[in-house]
A and B are shown apart, each in its own frame.
Chain A
Amino acid sequence: MKRRYSIASESSVIVYFGTTIDPAISQEVQKAYHALKAKDQEGFYEIIPSYASLMVSYDVMRLSFDDVCEIIEKSIEGEKALILSESKIITIPVYYGREVGLDLELLAQEKNLSVEEIIVLHVNEIYTVYAIGFAPGFAYLGEIDARLATSRLASPRKVVPKGSVAIADRQSAVYPSQSPGGWKVLGRTPTAMFDATYEGLSLLHVGDRVRYESISKEEFLKLGGQL
């Protein structure tokens, strides 16, 4: 699909690279995002990537809609040759204990799998960060094994504990802070997803590659995990 530029508002342009969740489309978005971040264009206030689109909010005092489209298009073309380096894999330790894996049993029944099989399927995948949103540092990771694909809870929890590792549809995510939520919770990580001391504030950024690692209760507690 050819890139399609559209007005989002009088000061925002949205570029569509496709309309589906697809690793190849996501790669195009990531390339454009990194090229634009690196360019550090004056008057670009926000560069927000998502699954198949990217939005730029700009200063209308300095730039027109056409200027912005041209700058984005040129940056993308200029980076065409760029092959996203096989970025290092970020490992997120997870304690898959039943006291924190609030929906493990439910999912095991639903999928006709053992809890152990669920954990293996969840840690055996290397995920890509497709988008960040919902809350600061909340990263949408894709895709989980098709055998784990699941719907959201019929009634969302009012409180999902901080660090909860959860799945919904073909995606996985870690809740960076305590919040309401309807994803099915498999475990908990002691790693902070969002922290003022991190460079870039968020542990994960769009395009990063991630894997989960199963840890014991003792390791979880030693790493500062809270039950």
Chain B
Amino acid sequence: MNGFLVENGGMQCSIQDAGRRGLSDIGLTQSGAMDEMAFGYANFLVGNAFNTPSIEIAMGGASFKARSEMCIAICGANMQPTCNGHKIALWQTYPLRRGDVIAFGFASEGQFAYIAVAGGFQTPFSYGSYSTSIKEGLGGVEGRKLKAGDFLQTLDARCPVDRRKLERKFIPKYPDSITVRLVKGYQEAMFDASSQETFFNSVYTFRGEGDRMGYRFSGEKVVPLASGILSEPICYGAVQVPSHGEPIVLLKERQTIGGYPKIGSVIAVDCFKLAQLKVGGNVKFKEVSLKEAQRATRAFYTFFKEQEA
């Protein structure tokens, strides 16, 4: 059978697509690729549609063996991938022969890398998506992270004839200091002028408190006018501030409802960058208008839509 054998599951590898839709009303999290940009490029490079299931590698340390010929691309965090011990490049298509071993070290920059395979990994479609929700034990391979011995079936699909390589100007960087754009909303009125000034003018540090659900940042405290609100729906990128005063940005595997005040939401395309921030990395929040935020989101998805056409 064509496929990829997991030799070492590393810290946390899971099957992800762009996430689940339409089931948050019964409590299922969205899940999906933490960085849709690297995920999208990986699929583009092997000729797949944008929303094709890939392997998400968090932090690194994983290895895989090709059990058949196939075509892959690795995008995202640089975990110094090797093929049979020889260094291989990210951001391009790469043909594999039967028996080739792809191994990853640990990320020198960024947090998440994606392996796309031409034709996609043939894991079960579950609750409207291929994505794994590790917290809920749903989707992917038995709802869990990948482990040694898992076999991921692939199709007999070849590399696109044009052997793609992403132009340097498109390759994202994962610096230690980033600025993310945010649209104000939700309970912004519960953050008075001085706390908003603090929030938008401070540098916040990611100390590693977080996972696929969301990241907590330390820095200048922001104190909302009340410590709790009546539980309400939470969207992607929502920035909630519990009474400890440190902002938490909610990401792909967030809870569907919650009761902490929120100042607004980091825009989707910047959540992808934020997800790649390493422990010790810094973030600044910058307010943008709804119009500008929507323009950025449209540009992102239009780009990938056009690649599919």
- Decide whether A and B are members of one complex: yes
Identify the A interface with B (CB < 8 A): 6-12, 14, 19-21, 33, 45-55, 57, 60-61, 64-65, 131-138, 140, 177, 194, 196, 200-202, 205-206
Whether B257 pairs with A10 at a CB distance below 8 angstroms is: no
Residue of B nearest to A132 (CB): B27
Closest Cβ of chain B: how far from A199's Cβ, in Å? 12
Indicate whether A50 sits within 8 Å of B257 (C-beta atoms), given known contacts A6-B185, A10-B183, A11-B268.
yes
Which residues of the partner chain A approach B238 to less than 8 Å between Cβ atoms? 8-9
Q: Tell me if B51 is interfacial: C-beta within 8 Å of chain A.
A: no
Whether A8 pairs with B235 at a CB distance below 8 angstroms is: yes
Q: Which of A9, A48, A200, A205 contacts B265 (CB 8 A)?
A: A9
Residue of A nearest to B301 (CB): A61
Identify the B interface with A (CB < 8 A): 21-28, 127, 136-138, 183-186, 229-233, 235-238, 255-258, 262, 264-265, 267-268, 290, 293-294, 296-298, 301-302
Which residues of the partner chain B approach A7 to less than 8 Å between Cβ atoms? 183-186, 264, 290
Closest Cβ of chain B: how far from A190's Cβ, in Å? 20
Whether A132 pairs with B294 at a CB distance below 8 angstroms is: no
Whether A48 pairs with B230 at a CB distance below 8 angstroms is: no
Whether B138 pairs with A136 at a CB distance below 8 angstroms is: yes
Which residues of the partner chain B approach A201 to less than 8 Å between Cβ atoms? 23, 26, 28, 127
Closest Cβ of chain A: how far from B217's Cβ, in Å? 18
Starting from the known contacts A7-B186, A61-B298, A136-B27, 11 additional A-B residue pairs (CB-CB under 8 Å) come to A8-B185, A9-B236, A9-B238, A9-B264, A9-B267, A10-B290, A14-B233, A45-B22, A51-B232, A53-B233, A201-B28
Whether B21 pairs with A9 at a CB distance below 8 angstroms is: no
Closest Cβ of chain A: how far from B257's Cβ, in Å? 4
Give Cα A201–Cα B265 distance, bound, in whole angstroms: 29
Whether A48 pairs with B298 at a CB distance below 8 angstroms is: no
In the A-B complex, list the 10 residue pairs whose CB atoms are closest, starting with the nearest: A7-B185, A9-B265, A133-B257, A55-B233, A10-B293, A48-B233, A202-B26, A12-B235, A53-B232, A136-B27
Indicate whether A136 sits within 8 Å of B28 (C-beta atoms), given known contacts A8-B186, A19-B230, A131-B231.
yes
Give Cα A19–Cα B230 distance, bound, in whole angstroms: 7
Indicate whether A10 sits within 8 Å of B25 (C-beta atoms), given known contacts A51-B231, A131-B257, A133-B256.
no
Q: Which of A8, A55, A133 contacts B255 (CB 8 A)?
A: A133
Can you spell out 5 A-B residue pairs with CB atoms less than 8 angstroms apart? A11-B297, A12-B265, A50-B257, A54-B233, A135-B27
Whether A60 pairs with B27 at a CB distance below 8 angstroms is: no
Whether A134 pairs with B186 at a CB distance below 8 angstroms is: no
Residue of B nearest to A56 (CB): B233
Closest Cβ of chain B: how far from A137's Cβ, in Å? 6
Which residues of the partner chain A approach B232 to less than 8 Å between Cβ atoms? 14, 50-53, 55
Give Cα A195–Cα B156 distance, bound, in whole angstroms: 34
Give Cα A61–Cα B137 distance, bound, in whole angstroms: 32
